[in-house]
A = this chain, B = another copy of it.
Protein backbone atom coordinates (compact mmCIF):
# COMPACT_ATOMS: atom_id res chain seq x y z
CA UNK A 1 0.00 0.00 0.00
CA UNK A 2 1.72 3.16 -1.20
CA UNK A 3 -0.51 5.51 0.81
CA UNK A 4 0.63 8.41 2.85
CA UNK A 5 -1.25 9.94 5.74
CA UNK A 6 -1.87 12.93 3.48
CA UNK A 7 -3.91 10.65 1.24
CA UNK A 8 -6.33 9.74 4.02
CA UNK A 9 -9.56 11.63 4.34
CA UNK A 10 -10.68 12.95 7.71
CA UNK A 11 -11.60 12.03 10.33
CA UNK A 12 -9.42 8.91 10.39
CA UNK A 13 -8.02 6.91 13.27
CA UNK A 14 -4.24 6.46 13.04
CA UNK A 15 -2.32 3.74 14.88
CA UNK A 16 1.44 4.26 15.18
CA UNK A 17 2.78 0.76 14.57
CA UNK A 18 6.21 1.44 16.09
CA UNK A 19 4.63 2.68 19.30
CA UNK A 20 2.29 -0.32 19.41
CA UNK A 21 5.25 -2.65 19.09
CA UNK A 22 7.18 -0.79 21.80
CA UNK A 23 4.16 -0.79 24.13
CA UNK A 24 3.59 -4.52 23.68
CA UNK A 25 7.27 -5.42 24.13
CA UNK A 26 7.67 -3.21 27.18
CA UNK A 27 4.78 -4.92 28.95
CA UNK A 28 5.81 -8.41 27.90
CA UNK A 29 9.39 -7.81 29.06
CA UNK A 30 8.10 -6.55 32.38
CA UNK A 31 5.83 -9.57 32.82
CA UNK A 32 8.60 -11.97 31.86
CA UNK A 33 11.02 -10.31 34.28
CA UNK A 34 8.56 -10.81 37.12
CA UNK A 35 7.34 -14.28 36.24
CA UNK A 36 3.87 -12.99 35.43
CA UNK A 37 1.84 -14.24 32.50
CA UNK A 38 0.26 -11.64 30.26
CA UNK A 39 -3.31 -12.08 29.00
CA UNK A 40 -4.09 -8.82 27.18
CA UNK A 41 -7.64 -7.52 27.07
CA UNK A 42 -8.56 -6.92 23.43
CA UNK A 43 -11.41 -4.49 24.21
CA UNK A 44 -8.99 -1.67 23.40
CA UNK A 45 -8.20 -2.64 19.80
CA UNK A 46 -10.76 -5.34 18.84
CA UNK A 47 -8.47 -6.42 15.98
CA UNK A 48 -7.47 -10.10 15.58
CA UNK A 49 -4.15 -9.23 13.87
CA UNK A 50 -3.08 -7.22 16.90
CA UNK A 51 -4.25 -9.94 19.28
CA UNK A 52 -2.14 -12.45 17.36
CA UNK A 53 0.84 -10.11 17.66
CA UNK A 54 0.30 -9.95 21.43
CA UNK A 55 0.40 -13.75 21.56
CA UNK A 56 3.45 -13.95 19.26
CA UNK A 57 5.31 -11.69 21.67
CA UNK A 58 4.57 -13.99 24.60
CA UNK A 59 1.04 -13.46 25.87
CA UNK A 60 -0.51 -16.77 26.98
CA UNK A 61 -3.84 -15.84 25.46
CA UNK A 62 -6.26 -12.97 25.47
CA UNK A 63 -9.14 -11.57 27.48
CA UNK A 64 -12.52 -10.58 26.02
CA UNK A 65 -15.41 -8.79 27.66
CA UNK A 66 -18.20 -9.97 25.39
CA UNK A 67 -18.93 -13.37 23.89
CA UNK A 68 -19.20 -11.79 20.45
CA UNK A 69 -15.70 -10.37 20.81
CA UNK A 70 -14.41 -13.82 21.76
CA UNK A 71 -16.08 -15.35 18.69
CA UNK A 72 -14.47 -12.74 16.45
CA UNK A 73 -11.07 -13.44 18.01
CA UNK A 74 -11.50 -17.21 17.62
CA UNK A 75 -12.37 -16.60 13.96
CA UNK A 76 -9.14 -14.60 13.78
CA UNK A 77 -7.02 -17.49 14.98
CA UNK A 78 -6.73 -16.90 18.74
CA UNK A 79 -6.71 -20.21 20.63
CA UNK A 80 -6.83 -19.27 24.33
CA UNK A 81 -9.51 -16.88 25.55
CA UNK A 82 -10.65 -15.74 28.98
CA UNK A 83 -14.12 -14.21 28.96
CA UNK A 84 -14.41 -11.92 31.98
CA UNK A 85 -18.18 -11.68 32.07
CA UNK A 86 -21.08 -13.38 33.84
CA UNK A 87 -22.84 -15.28 31.07
CA UNK A 88 -26.54 -16.10 31.29
CA UNK A 89 -29.39 -17.25 29.11
CA UNK A 90 -29.96 -20.03 26.61
CA UNK A 91 -28.76 -18.18 23.50
CA UNK A 92 -25.41 -17.19 25.01
CA UNK A 93 -24.84 -20.59 26.61
CA UNK A 94 -25.36 -22.33 23.26
CA UNK A 95 -22.80 -20.03 21.67
CA UNK A 96 -20.48 -20.53 24.64
CA UNK A 97 -20.58 -24.29 24.18
CA UNK A 98 -19.81 -23.92 20.49
CA UNK A 99 -16.89 -21.64 21.29
CA UNK A 100 -15.58 -23.98 24.01
CA UNK A 101 -15.31 -26.69 21.36
CA UNK A 102 -13.12 -24.46 19.19
CA UNK A 103 -10.68 -22.82 21.60
CA UNK A 104 -9.21 -23.11 25.09
CA UNK A 105 -11.93 -21.08 26.83
CA UNK A 106 -12.33 -19.96 30.43
CA UNK A 107 -14.99 -17.74 31.98
CA UNK A 108 -15.45 -15.71 35.15
CA UNK A 109 -18.47 -15.72 37.46
CA UNK A 110 -19.44 -14.07 40.72
CA UNK A 111 -22.63 -15.79 41.75
CA UNK A 112 -24.35 -19.16 42.10
CA UNK A 113 -26.94 -18.49 39.40
CA UNK A 114 -24.28 -18.14 36.73
CA UNK A 115 -22.37 -21.13 38.13
CA UNK A 116 -25.49 -23.26 37.90
CA UNK A 117 -26.34 -22.17 34.33
CA UNK A 118 -22.78 -22.72 33.11
CA UNK A 119 -22.63 -26.10 34.82
CA UNK A 120 -25.90 -27.31 33.29
CA UNK A 121 -24.97 -26.17 29.78
CA UNK A 122 -21.52 -27.73 29.93
CA UNK A 123 -22.71 -31.03 31.40
CA UNK A 124 -25.32 -31.29 28.66
CA UNK A 125 -22.54 -30.73 26.12
CA UNK A 126 -20.19 -33.17 27.81
CA UNK A 127 -17.65 -30.44 28.51
CA UNK A 128 -15.89 -29.09 31.57
CA UNK A 129 -15.39 -25.32 31.56
CA UNK A 130 -12.60 -23.71 33.58
CA UNK A 131 -13.99 -20.80 35.62
CA UNK A 132 -12.51 -18.05 37.75
CA UNK A 133 -14.26 -16.42 40.69
CA UNK A 134 -14.58 -12.68 40.07
CA UNK A 135 -13.56 -10.72 43.15
CA UNK A 136 -14.55 -7.13 43.90
CA UNK A 137 -11.31 -5.96 45.47
CA UNK A 138 -12.41 -2.33 45.42
CA UNK A 139 -13.43 -1.64 41.82
CA UNK A 140 -17.11 -1.81 42.80
CA UNK A 141 -18.34 -3.41 39.61
CA UNK A 142 -19.03 -7.16 39.61
CA UNK A 143 -17.45 -9.60 42.03
CA UNK A 144 -17.91 -11.31 45.37
CA UNK A 145 -17.53 -8.80 48.17
CA UNK A 146 -15.17 -10.56 50.57
CA UNK A 147 -12.44 -13.23 50.51
CA UNK A 148 -14.82 -15.42 52.54
CA UNK A 149 -17.47 -15.16 49.82
CA UNK A 150 -14.82 -16.07 47.24
CA UNK A 151 -14.01 -19.24 49.17
CA UNK A 152 -17.69 -20.04 49.57
CA UNK A 153 -18.37 -19.68 45.84
CA UNK A 154 -15.23 -21.69 45.06
CA UNK A 155 -16.54 -24.54 47.22
CA UNK A 156 -19.83 -24.41 45.37
CA UNK A 157 -18.03 -24.53 42.00
CA UNK A 158 -15.79 -27.36 43.17
CA UNK A 159 -18.88 -29.48 43.77
CA UNK A 160 -20.08 -29.08 40.16
CA UNK A 161 -19.18 -31.36 37.26
CA UNK A 162 -19.61 -29.06 34.26
CA UNK A 163 -17.27 -26.36 35.53
CA UNK A 164 -13.81 -26.58 37.09
CA UNK A 165 -12.33 -23.95 39.40
CA UNK A 166 -9.35 -22.40 37.70
CA UNK A 167 -8.72 -19.52 40.10
CA UNK A 168 -9.54 -15.94 40.98
CA UNK A 169 -9.93 -12.81 38.90
CA UNK A 170 -10.25 -9.13 39.73
CA UNK A 171 -10.51 -5.84 37.94
CA UNK A 172 -8.87 -3.74 40.62
CA UNK A 173 -9.47 -0.14 41.63
CA UNK A 174 -6.90 2.20 40.14
CA UNK A 175 -3.96 3.08 42.38
CA UNK A 176 -5.00 0.57 45.05
CA UNK A 177 -2.37 -2.10 44.50
CA UNK A 178 -1.81 -2.70 48.23
CA UNK A 179 -5.53 -3.17 48.83
CA UNK A 180 -5.79 -5.55 45.88
CA UNK A 181 -2.79 -7.52 47.11
CA UNK A 182 -4.18 -7.86 50.63
CA UNK A 183 -7.64 -8.90 49.42
CA UNK A 184 -6.36 -11.54 47.02
CA UNK A 185 -3.74 -12.75 49.50
CA UNK A 186 -6.46 -13.41 52.01
CA UNK A 187 -8.65 -15.17 49.44
CA UNK A 188 -5.79 -17.41 48.31
CA UNK A 189 -5.02 -18.31 51.92
CA UNK A 190 -8.69 -19.10 52.47
CA UNK A 191 -8.82 -21.33 49.41
CA UNK A 192 -5.72 -23.23 50.50
CA UNK A 193 -7.14 -23.65 53.99
CA UNK A 194 -10.23 -25.12 52.33
CA UNK A 195 -8.05 -27.54 50.40
CA UNK A 196 -8.58 -25.76 47.08
CA UNK A 197 -5.58 -24.93 44.92
CA UNK A 198 -6.15 -21.42 43.52
CA UNK A 199 -4.15 -21.94 40.33
CA UNK A 200 -4.60 -18.75 38.36
CA UNK A 201 -4.85 -15.39 40.12
CA UNK A 202 -5.59 -12.82 37.46
CA UNK A 203 -5.36 -9.04 37.90
CA UNK A 204 -6.01 -6.37 35.30
CA UNK A 205 -5.77 -2.82 34.13
CA UNK A 206 -3.18 -0.60 32.48
CA UNK A 207 -2.86 2.18 35.07
CA UNK A 208 -1.12 -0.12 37.57
CA UNK A 209 0.32 -2.56 35.04
CA UNK A 210 3.91 -1.96 36.10
CA UNK A 211 3.04 -2.60 39.72
CA UNK A 212 1.28 -5.91 38.98
CA UNK A 213 4.13 -7.88 40.57
CA UNK A 214 3.39 -6.20 43.90
CA UNK A 215 0.27 -8.31 44.07
CA UNK A 216 2.44 -11.22 45.11
CA UNK A 217 -0.21 -13.93 44.70
CA UNK A 218 -1.01 -12.80 41.14
CA UNK A 219 -0.03 -15.19 38.34
CA UNK A 220 -1.29 -13.23 35.37
CA UNK A 221 -2.23 -9.69 34.40
CA UNK A 222 -4.77 -8.48 31.82
CA UNK A 223 -3.83 -5.02 30.56
CA UNK A 224 -5.95 -3.60 27.76
CA UNK A 225 -5.22 0.04 27.01
CA UNK A 226 -1.42 -0.48 27.21
CA UNK A 227 -1.34 -1.32 23.49
CA UNK A 228 -2.43 2.17 22.43
CA UNK A 229 -2.28 4.20 25.64
CA UNK A 230 -4.28 7.39 25.62
CA UNK A 231 -4.42 10.76 27.27
CA UNK A 232 -5.99 9.28 30.38
CA UNK A 233 -3.32 6.59 30.78
CA UNK A 234 -0.60 9.13 30.05
CA UNK A 235 -1.40 10.68 33.42
CA UNK A 236 -0.74 7.39 35.20
CA UNK A 237 2.41 6.28 33.43
CA UNK A 238 4.75 6.64 30.47
CA UNK A 239 3.44 9.99 29.28
CA UNK A 240 2.15 11.01 25.88
CA UNK A 241 5.11 9.48 24.01
CA UNK A 242 3.54 6.04 24.47
CA UNK A 243 0.25 7.09 22.85
CA UNK A 244 -0.10 5.12 19.62
CA UNK A 245 -3.60 6.21 18.65
CA UNK A 246 -4.47 9.59 17.23
CA UNK A 247 -7.35 11.08 15.28
CA UNK A 248 -6.63 12.92 12.05
CA UNK A 249 -9.15 15.75 11.67
CA UNK A 250 -9.68 18.87 9.58
CA UNK A 251 -10.47 22.39 10.73
CA UNK A 252 -13.70 23.13 8.85
CA UNK A 253 -14.76 26.41 10.43
CA UNK A 254 -13.26 29.38 12.29
CA UNK A 255 -16.44 31.18 13.38
CA UNK A 256 -14.55 33.48 15.75
CA UNK A 257 -10.92 34.31 16.34
CA UNK A 258 -10.86 32.16 19.45
CA UNK A 259 -12.91 29.21 18.17
CA UNK A 260 -12.01 26.51 15.66
CA UNK A 261 -14.35 23.69 14.65
CA UNK A 262 -13.11 20.23 13.65
CA UNK A 263 -14.86 17.63 11.50
CA UNK A 264 -14.73 15.12 14.36
CA UNK A 265 -17.00 15.03 17.39
CA UNK A 266 -18.45 12.56 19.88
CA UNK A 267 -19.32 10.10 17.12
CA UNK A 268 -15.60 9.90 16.32
CA UNK A 269 -14.09 10.26 19.81
CA UNK A 270 -16.94 9.19 22.15
CA UNK A 271 -17.94 11.52 24.99
CA UNK A 272 -15.60 9.87 27.49
CA UNK A 273 -13.73 12.72 29.13
CA UNK A 274 -12.46 10.58 32.03
CA UNK A 275 -12.26 13.68 34.13
CA UNK A 276 -9.61 15.36 32.01
CA UNK A 277 -9.58 18.99 30.98
CA UNK A 278 -10.58 18.83 27.33
CA UNK A 279 -11.46 15.79 25.23
CA UNK A 280 -8.06 15.22 23.64
CA UNK A 281 -4.66 16.77 23.04
CA UNK A 282 -4.24 18.56 19.72
CA UNK A 283 -0.59 17.75 19.11
CA UNK A 284 0.03 20.71 16.75
CA UNK A 285 -1.68 23.16 19.14
CA UNK A 286 -1.04 21.91 22.66
CA UNK A 287 -2.29 25.14 24.19
CA UNK A 288 -5.65 24.91 22.44
CA UNK A 289 -8.42 23.09 24.31
CA UNK A 290 -10.74 20.56 22.68
CA UNK A 291 -13.45 21.94 24.89
CA UNK A 292 -16.68 20.37 23.68
CA UNK A 293 -18.14 17.92 21.22
CA UNK A 294 -21.18 18.02 19.03
CA UNK A 295 -21.91 14.68 17.42
CA UNK A 296 -19.84 15.41 14.30
CA UNK A 297 -17.97 18.56 15.33
CA UNK A 298 -15.15 19.22 17.77
CA UNK A 299 -15.19 22.65 19.41
CA UNK A 300 -11.68 24.00 19.92
CA UNK A 301 -11.04 26.93 22.22
CA UNK A 302 -7.83 28.38 20.85
CA UNK A 303 -8.04 31.66 22.72
CA UNK A 304 -5.09 30.69 24.95
CA UNK A 305 -3.00 29.57 21.98
CA UNK A 306 -0.74 32.02 20.15
CA UNK A 307 -0.70 29.85 17.05
CA UNK A 308 -4.16 29.20 15.61
CA UNK A 309 -5.18 26.82 12.86
CA UNK A 310 -6.61 27.97 9.55
CA UNK A 311 -9.61 26.53 7.72
CA UNK A 312 -8.63 23.40 5.83
CA UNK A 313 -5.66 22.63 8.08
CA UNK A 314 -5.30 19.09 9.40
CA UNK A 315 -4.52 18.30 13.00
CA UNK A 316 -3.88 15.10 14.97
CA UNK A 317 -5.46 14.57 18.34
CA UNK A 318 -4.56 12.10 21.08
CA UNK A 319 -7.91 10.94 22.47
CA UNK A 320 -8.74 10.71 26.16
CA UNK A 321 -10.04 7.15 25.87
CA UNK A 322 -8.66 4.86 23.16
CA UNK A 323 -11.02 1.92 23.85
CA UNK A 324 -14.09 4.06 23.19
CA UNK A 325 -12.62 5.33 19.91
CA UNK A 326 -11.97 1.80 18.60
CA UNK A 327 -15.58 0.97 19.35
CA UNK A 328 -16.83 3.69 16.97
CA UNK A 329 -14.81 2.86 13.85
CA UNK A 330 -15.02 0.11 11.28
CA UNK A 331 -11.40 0.60 10.24
CA UNK A 332 -8.25 2.16 11.66
CA UNK A 333 -5.02 2.87 9.81
CA UNK A 334 -1.64 1.46 10.85
CA UNK A 335 1.04 4.06 10.13
CA UNK A 336 4.82 4.43 10.33
CA UNK A 337 6.00 8.00 9.99
CA UNK A 338 3.94 9.41 7.14
CA UNK A 339 3.30 5.99 5.54
CA UNK A 340 0.01 4.12 5.85
CA UNK A 341 1.12 0.49 6.06
CA UNK A 342 -2.02 -1.32 7.16
CA UNK A 343 -5.77 -0.96 7.12
CA UNK A 344 -7.12 -2.83 10.11
CA UNK A 345 -10.76 -3.85 10.14
CA UNK A 346 -12.00 -3.51 13.72
CA UNK A 347 -13.53 -6.98 13.57
CA UNK A 348 -14.90 -7.16 17.11
CA UNK A 349 -16.43 -3.69 17.04
CA UNK A 350 -20.11 -3.59 17.90
CA UNK A 351 -20.20 -7.16 19.24
CA UNK A 352 -22.19 -6.09 22.26
CA UNK A 353 -23.82 -9.46 22.80
| CB closest residue in chain B, given A313 | B88
Known: A9-B91, A141-B294, A328-B350. 5 other contacts (CB 8 A): A88-B311, A113-B312, A271-B324, A295-B323, A328-B352
Enumerate A37-76 residues with CB–CB distance to B below 8 Å.
43, 65-66
Asked whether A287 is an interface residue with its Cβ less than 8 Å from the other chain, the reply is: no
Interface string of A160-200 (1 = CB under 8 A from B): 00000000000000000000000000000000000000000
- Cross-chain contact of A254 among B65, B111, B254, B350 (Cβ < 8 A): B111
**CB pair A66 B141 closer than 8 Å:** no
Contacts of A141 in B (CB 8 A): 255, 261, 294, 297, 299
- Whole-angstrom CA separation of A50 from B296 in the bound complex: 21
- Whole-angstrom CA separation of A136 from B255 in the bound complex: 8
Enumerate A1-57 residues with CB–CB distance to B below 8 Å.
9-12, 43
The 7 closest A-B CB pairs, nearest first, are A86-B252, A142-B253, A113-B311, A9-B91, A271-B271, A65-B296, A9-B353
**CB pair B111 A352 closer than 8 Å:** no
Asked whether A223 is an interface residue with its Cβ less than 8 Å from the other chain, the reply is: no
- A residues contacting B by CB (< 8 A) are 9-12, 43, 65-66, 85-89, 91-92, 110-111, 113-114, 117, 136, 140-145, 250, 252-256, 259, 261, 263-264, 266-268, 270-272, 294-297, 299, 311-312, 323-324, 327-330, 350, 352-353
11 contacts between A and B (CB under 8 A): A9-B353, A43-B295, A85-B263, A85-B296, A86-B263, A88-B250, A88-B312, A110-B255, A113-B311, A140-B299, A328-B352
| CB closest residue in chain B, given A139 | B294
Given contacts A65-B295, A272-B266, A352-B11, contact A255 B86 (CB under 8 A): no
Distance in angstroms from A273 CB to nearest chain B CB is 8
Contacts of A311 in B (CB 8 A): 86, 88, 111, 113-114
Contacts of A350 in B (CB 8 A): 328-330
Distance in angstroms from A28 CB to nearest chain B CB is 24
- Cross-chain contact of A114 among B12, B142, B252 (Cβ < 8 A): B252
